Copies of this chain bind each other. A is one copy, B any other.
């Protein structure tokens, strides 16, 4: 059973349909960050919650990771994210 294009796109949008994960995307729009930096910036969320959010975004290919010693660095994996977010921001005023 091969997934249709829109099934795959739906999974991407589902990964984006959560405010915590959008907070993460906002941070990564600013450039690569290690998990520790993301946690520092989003102190209001628990560590496992952030870790799961990163895993979900990665599972659909929106972000990628890179290990360096104990740290894991995440960055955006899709170029057009910034433009679309800017557009949405304008619409939502």
Question: A residues bordering B, Cβ < 8 Å?
Answer: 4-14, 16-19, 22-23, 26, 61, 78-80, 83-85, 87-89, 91-92
Interface residue from B79, B87, B89 paired with A87 (Cβ < 8 Å): B79
Interface residue from B4, B16, B88 paired with A19 (Cβ < 8 Å): B4
Q: For the complex, give the distance between the alpha carbons of A89 and B26 in Å.
A: 22
A4: B residues at CB distance < 8 A: 19
State whether B88 touches A9 (Cβ < 8 A): yes
Of all chain B residues, the one with the shortest Cβ separation from A77 is B91
Interface residue from B17, B61, B78, B84 paired with A10 (Cβ < 8 Å): B17
Q: List 15 A-B contacts (CB under 8 A).
A: A4-B19, A6-B19, A6-B22, A8-B92, A9-B22, A9-B92, A10-B18, A12-B88, A13-B13, A13-B16, A13-B17, A13-B22, A14-B17, A61-B91, A80-B84
